[in-house]
Amino acid sequence: MAIKKEKKDKLNEKMKKLNILEKDIIEKFILGSGRGGQKIQKTHSCVYLKHIPTGIEVKCQRERSRELNRYYARKELIKKFERLYFKKESEEQKKIYKLKKQKKKRSKRTKEKILKEKKIQSSKKELRKKVKEND
């Protein structure tokens, strides 16, 4: 699977806008590891990028293809650059933070407060019930 020309152009445009030049990037290909069988362990499909002026390093082995990994590594380099120099929080990180916050245990005080509010609400509902008539 190859990357479309529009995506590559968009990536190059963003790199130019951020003043990340290809000549300032050291690119190395490392022997792959992990899942993927013999193909992965024999080929140098893992991409390592280092932006010399900033010292930002990125290593990418998302796919089995070297070309795709080169593309993803550059995308990751841009994300890191933006995060460090523009203090931009990516959408990805916002989602991660939101999930962590949702999974986090509530404090004892918060639990007590919630229970207190529930009891108040239930007493209000109790008052709304119809009165039973006794014959």
pLDDT in tens, 113-125: 999 999 999 999 9
Query: CA-CA distance, 40 to 34, in Å (whole number)?
Result: 7
pTM over 0.85: no
The dihedral region occupied by 34, where left means phi > 0, alpha psi between -120 and 50, and beta the remainder, is left
- Exposure string of 28-66, with b = 16+ CB inside 10 Å and e = fewer, is eeeebeeeeeeebeeeebbbbbbbeeeebebebbebbeb
| Strand residue runs (E) in the chain | 25-30, 46-51, 56-60
Does 65 score more than 90 pLDDT? no
Q: What are the extents of the domains in the chain?
A: 5-88, 92-128
Q: Which fold has domain 5-88?
A: Double Stranded RNA Binding Domain (3.30.160)
CB-CB contact of 85 with 59 (8 Å): no
Q: Summarize pLDDT for 87-132 with one digit per residue, the tens.
A: 766 677 788 888 888 888 888 999 999 999 999 999 999 888 887 7
